[in-house]
Structure 1
Amino acid sequence: MPEFAPAAYSIPLFVSALALTALAVFHAVSMWRQCRRLPLGDIMWSVFYVALLLVVGIFCLLGGIDAEAGILDLGAYAVALFLCGTITLMRNRISDGMAELPIKLRAALRAVAIVCVIAFVSIVSAWMIDYVWLDTSGSIQLQYFAVTVLLFALASVALYFLGQRGGALVTFVPLCAVGFGIAQYFVVMFKGTPIMPTDLLSLKTAGAVASGYNYVLTPKMVVALCATAVCACSLSLIRPNYRSFSRRTRAITAGASTLVGVVLLVALGGLFNTVKLEDAIEFEYDRWMPITTYQTLGFAPAFIEVAQDLKIPEPEGYDKQQTAVLLDQLVEEFDSTMGVASERLAAEAQFSDIKPTVIAVMNETFSDMSIYEAVREAGYGGPQFYSSLEGTLQRGTLMVSVVGGGTANSEFEFLTGNSMAFIGTGKYPYQLYDLSESDSLVKQFKQLGYGTVAMHPQSAVNWKRSSVYEQLGFDRFLSIEDFESAPVYHSGATDASTYDKILELLEQDAAPQFIFDVTMQNHSGYGEGSVPAEDVVGLDVAGVDDPAALSELGVYLACINRSDQDLAYFIEKLKGVDRPVALVFFGDHQPGLAGTLADSLYADAAQLDREFKKHESTYMVWTNYEVAGTGFGQVRTTSSSQLAAQVLYALGAPLTDRQKADLVLGQSVGAINLLGYIGADGLRYELGTDSPYRETIAQMQAIQYLRFTEKLGQ
């Protein structure tokens, strides 16, 4: 059988689209010649099928079709959609034939047809949504599949009545199923995580970064789109039958149908708010590895379980007054111990005198992949300048709550001191909450008389930063418009261009400033050609057999090397600045390919250990002046929610009561993230399990609830 270029696959699709268009035109002309009214629906259904043909055809034309799909597969798809369109255009003849039957028989057949079609569409939609993205969709247990079918059936019935007992609106069910299935496929492939409810609140952010990925239609997607067309064809045959009714009867029937549809939708909303799906199906949602829940239950039930878990849970046995007393006690303990240490007192006096500018750089996807022994053994020693920089005040491993994406949550933890461990999986506070009343590092510096500036060389709407930064207290926000002429590397403006902007701010204002820089250069994906070929780091990592993963690793390491060079440039510039400056530099998370590395290289390790490995980033604190006191230069594992308090303590800056309490508790729990925590004994513990530090964790959660959640008005 001859081989064809992917572009040739589009030929049967475009031919079928053209033929269906011609058939629709012929149908319209025939109706006109017969002096019959042409239903708008006939044209709209034809447009729907033509659109499905053109979408796949354009992907083929652009080479965006998986190699496993052959021209015969695409030809079959073209024929199937042409037949669906033809059947839909013949529905008038079917209706005319039904009209010849006795009224009771006609009504009975219509009722049976409606039930069968809705059942068929619900089952096919439930199958499609997981078939597209999940390799083992057939392994989903029948009771969980039945839950998905039931949910789609209820939605279909509601839309049936809202659509005046026609099938047009019900088409949204298979369309949403195939749409979410395809989106889930790409999200899992690119980020290693499933679609979460809060992702729907960040569609602008997703759209802004989506251009960095390559999209290829798989054979499964083509099959699912074909199934969508078959569902639409079946639904097109369900038509409102009001023509024989009087105007008054039509109005009453339409009103009653709308009312029933609204009642059903309200009932569905009520079920969501009153029935916890997790309890109803007796399945515990995996809060730190949610993709396993999606793989077990299927997309729809898992998505609902996560959505029902969005509210921040109140700590068990929480008492507001007792927590306030606890906070006071911890503050007293700090004031009598850590607060009177000689190093701290010396640093306090110095800080009050010099008011150093504080620069925090959250470097996009910056991490040290040499933590993976096999990567190190393959010849990669980590970012050279960063690793060898001398004179750091503090540095070490940074435990974060995200991997492969979710930058805003690392940002949130650092700027507010709140841990995602006590907020929950799948939540993005930037998207969910009004942070105007929340304490923040920004507001803290403003109270000290600092100017506050945030910068990110991307769209200001990403993660709602344009409004969130204002809520957190920033005076200014420099976004993509302020970097229009900046040099670009990989995914955006270079790190160095943001550093130049910081240096410019320092030159413009001699007063102390707090500057927060969120870089963009290293953002995923890491496809071939996204960096110069000579920059790619070629490694043969023992234990990693996936060529695509190794290719991505090479591109990613090229980005890190470039960031390392830019950091060296920035440090050298800061050394020459005639004012005291403290630099806090940290990576927000590891790239999504960390999942492949950890799972391949540590297949025999406990799942918790693998997850901790993936959620390990790095940080360092450096100053261009000598901080008073001598006891602060250290290597320490911490977390993004605890970092700011530790930096302020080391610099001698004033601390809030919350930060003082966190520093005291941090002596027992040195790092915490969404997965678990590291105790003073150096061991890792999963959240919710018994440990010597269970009481400390409970205290941390209660204080965060008091100082953060209570202010949200939940």
Structure 2
Amino acid sequence: MIKKKLFKKNRKEKKNPGKILSKLISVKEKIQKKFREKFPKKKPRFHDANLHEKRYILRLAAMSFLMYLYIETFARATDGIFNGVMMLWKQPVVFLYNWLIIFATLTLTLLFRKRGFVTLLIMIVWGTLGTVNGCILIKRMTPFTLYDLQNLGDGLTLLTTYYSKLQIVLGAAALIIGGAIIVLYYISSYRWDNVNYKRSFAVVLISVAAAMGSTVGLIRLGTLSTFFGNLNYAYTDYGFPYCFINTSINKGISKPADYSKSSIQKILKKTKNGTDTTPTKKETDNTKPNIIVLQMESFAYAQDFHNIKVSNDPTPNFTKLMKDYTSGWFEVPACGAGTANTEFEVLTGISAKFFGPGEYPYKGKLREKTLESMAYVLKNSGYSTYAMHDHRALFYNRNEVYANLGFDSFTSAEYMNNIELTPTGWAQDKTMTGDIMDILTNTKNPSFMHIISVQGHGSYPTEQVFKDPYTTVTADNEETKWKYEYYVNETHQMDTFIGDLLSKIRKSGEPTIVLIYGDHIPALDVKSADYADGNLYQTRYVIWDNIGLSENDRKLYSYQAGAQLLKDAGLSHRGVIFDYQQSNSQKSSSYLSDQKTLAYDMLYGKDYVFGGKNPYKQTKMRMGYKDIEIDKIVKIGDDYYIKGKNFTERSKISMDGETLSTIYLSSTLLGLQEKIDPEDVDKLEVSQTDKKDDTILSTITSQEEL
């Protein structure tokens, strides 16, 4: 009897979900009925496919045109509100091609009876993408790609980096209201009559085929490109729809048609080491020179610009270096922006052109996988490896990526003191001189140092900034004059930093090789006719040394720089890519395709290069080369202070992973500016934080040092 009752009870419980569902349906029907009473469904003007199909397709064409005009107008708003219209006049083929892409997506509505609702959804997608891109371009120089939203965390960081909390809340409210409107529109949208799905599918097929065929044809004609050396320029030249789709779909290195274990071994046999690629640690040789890679932000030789004249040489140190040491043109994969791809090539020997258009390996694969690099090769040769950048550690994910490239430490701006800023807010490069020399003269092993400058970064003011400049600029118009005058006077300060650093290295007696180059030309909207021989993807380089290297001027590709430095240091044929470049002529027909195959294998393939297993382990990279220490926590009155060593302006007192209100008093003293429970004093820590959003980069407790 008891079992029967229990069985009936359980059976009733199982019915409950059905009752809940039926109640929800009933509520939905009541809401829909009341909505219909107040807003009766009206038959739209176009509703019958037999009568209105052609006119509806014309409407889709007009909507596509207006949507694309909005997207480009917003994207170019910082340069002028009529620039979207001007694109139609100046770039009619590109404009109509991108219109065709949007139109092709809108023709998908022909496959649905609720065409109005589907049209709304597709228009919302394009409108949202265009709006996000426009908002981002107001705040930064790089346009919107899917990499900005690689995961939820990155998306939230993007929002908090560029917008206030109030703006984010208002945006969220707008999304909620928009969602409600979409639901109501779905309820009220009319179903089309007499839909001929075969005819509709044919229209979709023809429009998609036209868009795809136009893509192939325009690429062959050179109107479009599959390589984006500068994302901002590419989006401007080729249009948002094409660039956004291209950067979203074409990612990574494509798999070579003949990729196999045997094809890899065939390539390896062209190198000196052959298939013996297992990296081995060698005894430290203290006679080997230090190697410094000095990547100068937007550093170009002023005399290479044909559209300006300077009263004085802004870079006298660099000019003399070019005369006295190995120098020449430095071919880079970037133009006006794209710093990370130039340094990627220098460090790994792999061309950024192997990847998708506008792709940054630092934002993708290198966040999850280690890769053979100069740092790993030199670590195995007894070197200590350091990276340094006078800007944010989070920029291009360097705080994550450098550990996958073999660096022992990374010192970013958050670990530096006494940073002087330029008028536009970038750190002056002279900030790093003392730290570079400190590492160089106090490291027992030879040092490999990768130094990334930031001082020359854009944008450049269009009005006068320097009242008494080192050099003045003559140009055709005021805007060009002031932008270039600001830029060349910043490069003068960067040149002074270079001269001062080399002077100190020379006096130290440390045997050293220094590669100095510009990562790309500045973002000054330079035209081919206004620069050097017309190639905008080149800067100048110098290889300075105090070990007696012979001068050998020549053009150098950035992906060949690592192999050249290793050879100059007497460390030839170490590392697979570097060995290949040193063993083969770049005139060989398979020179680049072989390297692309090796790169694919190491990053996306099966590691046949190393016998099937990647030998490089992520380093336990420390942030900052100095030990940050907590000596003691003291109480003065009602306030707590932490005494220690090597604190910086980005040092924050923290507890349980949360930063607390802190005042930086000196490199040895921090003050807590909020009340805490006396029992929690022992939990106080010191964290180094990002300057934009207080992201914690590293933390120490009173029992440890960083």
- What TM bracket, shorter-length normalisation? 0.5 to 0.7
CA contact (8 A) 1:197 1:426 kept: no
2:459 pairs, out of 492, 515, 525, with 525
- 1:172-231 Cα offsets, whole Å, 9 max, x none, are 6534333424655887xx57xx655546658899899989xxxxxxxxxxxxxxxxx9xx
User: Within the alignment, does 1:128 sit opposite 2:70 as a pair?
Assistant: yes
Distance of 1:381 and 1:305 partners within structure 2: 42
Q: Which residue of 1 aligns with 2:666?
A: none
Counterpart amino acid of 1:147?
I
Residues 409 and 296 of structure 1, relative CA distance in 2, 3 Å threshold:
closer
User: Percent identity, aligned pairs only?
Assistant: 20
Match of 1:108 in 2: 43
1:702 aligns with 2:597: yes
User: Hey, what's the Cα distance between the residues in 2 that align with 1:493 and 1:356?
Assistant: 29
Name which of 74, 93, 103 aligns with 1:149: 103
**1:239 matches 2:184:** yes
Equivalences for residues 540-555 of structure 1 within 5 A: 540-541=474-475, 545-555=476-486
- Secondary structure in 2 aligned to 1:617? strand
Taking the aligned partners of 1:409 and 1:712, their CA distance within structure 2 comes to 23
Shift in Å, 1:122? 5.9
Alpha-carbon contact 2:516-2:542 (below 8 Å) kept: yes
The residue identity in structure 1 corresponding to 2:101 is V
418, 433, 451: which one aligns with 2:384 = 451
| Closer/same/farther in 2, CA of residues 196 and 165 from structure 1, 3 Å limit | closer
Where do residues 506-525 of structure 1 align in structure 2 (5 Å cutoff)? 506-525=440-459
**Which one of 522, 538, 552 corresponds to residue 616 of structure 1?**
538
Q: Distance in 2 between matches of 1:169 and 1:280?
A: 22
Give the whole-Å Cα distance in 2 for the aligned partners of 1:291 and 1:185: 12
Matches within 5 A, 1:262-301: 278-279=212-213, 281-283=215-217, 284=219, 285-288=224-227, 298-301=239-242
Question: Which SS does the other structure have where 1:410 is aligned?
Answer: helix
Query: Which of the numbers 612, 636, 653 marks the counterpart of 2:554?
Result: 636
Distance 2:436 2:500 in 1: 13
TM-score (norm 1): 0.61
Change (3 A) 1:326 1:170: closer
Match of 1:559 among 466, 490, 513: 490
For the pair 1:410 / 2:349, whether they are aligned, the reply is no
Structure 2 distance, partners of 1:331, 1:208, is 51
- CA deviations 1:459-492 (Å, max 9, x no partner) are 2111011100111111111112112422223442
Whichever structure has more strand as a proportion of its residues is 2
Once residues 123 and 254 of structure 2 are traced to their aligned partners in structure 1, the CA distance between those partners, rounded to angstroms, is: 36
Write out aligned runs for 1:319-358 (5 A): 320-331=261-272, 352=285, 354-358=287-291
**2:410 is equivalent to residue 477 of structure 1:** yes
Residue 637 of structure 1 and its aligned partner are, at CA, apart by 1.1
Alpha carbons of structure 1 residues 530 and 420: separation in structure 2 relative to 1, 3 Å: farther
Q: Secondary structure at the match of 2:392?
A: coil
Task: Give the C-alpha shift of residue 413 in structure 1.
Answer: 0.5
* Corresponding position of 1:303: 244
Aligned to 1:570: 501
User: Could you say if the C-alpha distance between residues 397 and 241 of structure 1 is closer, same or farther in structure 2, counting changes exceeding 3 Å?
Assistant: closer
For residues 238-286 of structure 1, give each alpha carbon's deviation from its aligned partner in whole angstroms, at most 9, with x where no partner exists.
826879xxxxxxxxx9xxxxxxxxxxxxxxxxx9xx9996457544241
Q: 1:350 to 1:110 in 2, by over 3 A?
A: same
Q: 3-state DSSP class of the match of 1:583?
A: strand
Amino acid at match of 1:598: S
1:662 aligned residue: 581
CA contact (8 A) 2:383 2:448 kept: yes
8 Å Cα contact 1:397/1:619 also seen in 2: yes
**Distance in 2 (alpha carbons) for counterparts of 1:276 and 1:447:** 54
Aligned with residue 497 of structure 1, among 417, 431, 440 = 431
Contact 1:156 1:170 in 2 (8 A): no
CA distance in 1, matches of 2:267, 2:178: 65
Q: CA deviation at 1:399?
A: 0.7
1:334-370 deviation line (CA, Å, top 9, x unaligned) = x9xxxxxxxxxxxxx9994513222221111112131
Counterpart of 1:659, as a letter, is: F
1:370, 1:382 within 8 Å by CA — same for their partners in 2? no
**Does 2:329 correspond to 1:428?**
no
Q: Report how far residue 534 of structure 1 moved.
A: 1.8
Say which is worse superposed, 390-399 or 549-558, in terms of deviation: 390-399
Separation (CA, whole Å) in 2 of partners of 1:185 and 1:584: 35
d(CA) in 2 for partners of 1:479 and 1:155? 51
Deviates most, 409-418 or 491-500 = 491-500
What secondary structure is seen at the aligned counterpart in 1 of 2:513?
strand
Aligned with 1:403: secondary structure?
Answer: coil
With over 3 angstroms needed to count, the CA separation of the structure-2 counterparts of 1:396 and 1:206, relative to structure 1, is farther
Q: SS of the counterpart of 1:151?
A: helix
| AA matched with 1:178 | T
2:569 maps to 651
Task: Please state whether the residue corresponding to 1:492 is helix, strand or coil.
Answer: coil
2:338 maps to amino acid: G
Q: Distance in 2 between matches of 1:157 and 1:500?
A: 67
Pair 658,282 (structure 1): closer, same or farther in 2 beyond 3 Å: closer
Cα distance 1:94–1:183, how it changes in 2: closer, same or farther (>3 A)?
same
Structure (1 or 2) with the greater helix fraction: 1
Change (3 A) 1:172 1:393: same
Q: What does the per-residue CA deviation read over 1:307-332, in whole Å, with 9 as the maximum and x for residues that have no partner? A: 22223123455554234223223327
Work out the CA distance in 1 between the residues paired with 2:159 and 2:464: 19
Instruction: Kindly indicate whether residue 326 of structure 2 is the aligned counterpart of residue 394 of structure 1.
Output: yes
Aligned residues: 510
Letter in 2 for 1:325: K
> Cα distance 1:96–1:302, how it changes in 2: closer, same or farther (>3 A)?
same
Counterpart in 1 of 2:5? Answer: none
C-alpha distance in 1 between matches for 2:155 and 2:186: 39
Q: How far did residue 518 of structure 1 move?
A: 0.7
Partner Cα distance (2:495, 2:267) in 1: 43
Seen in structure 2, the aligned counterparts of structure 1 residues 668 and 180 have a Cα distance that, compared at 3 Å, is: closer
- SS of the aligned residue for 1:458 comes to coil
The structure-2 alpha-carbon separation of the partners of 1:448 and 1:275, relative to structure 1 and needing over 3 Å to count, comes to: farther
Matches within 5 A, 1:675-690: none
Partners of 2:185 and 2:440 in 1: how far apart? 69
Provide the residue aligned with 1:55 in structure 2. Answer: none
Q: Find the residue that maps to 1:516 and give its secondary structure.
A: strand
For 2:523, the equivalent position in structure 1 comes to 592
* Matched letter for residue 88 of structure 2: S
Q: What's the TM-score once normalised by structure 2's chain length?
A: 0.61
1:648 partner SS = helix
Q: Is the CA contact (8 Å cut-off) linking 1:404 and 1:592 kept in structure 2?
A: yes
Segments of 5+ residues of structure 1 without an aligned counterpart are: 1-91, 100-105, 212-228, 244-252, 254-270, 336-348, 603-608, 670-692
AA paired with 2:542?
M
**Alpha-carbon shift at residue 651 of structure 1 (Å):** 1.6
Inter-CA distance 277–712: structure 2 relative to 1 (3 Å threshold): farther
Distance 2:419 2:576 in 1: 41
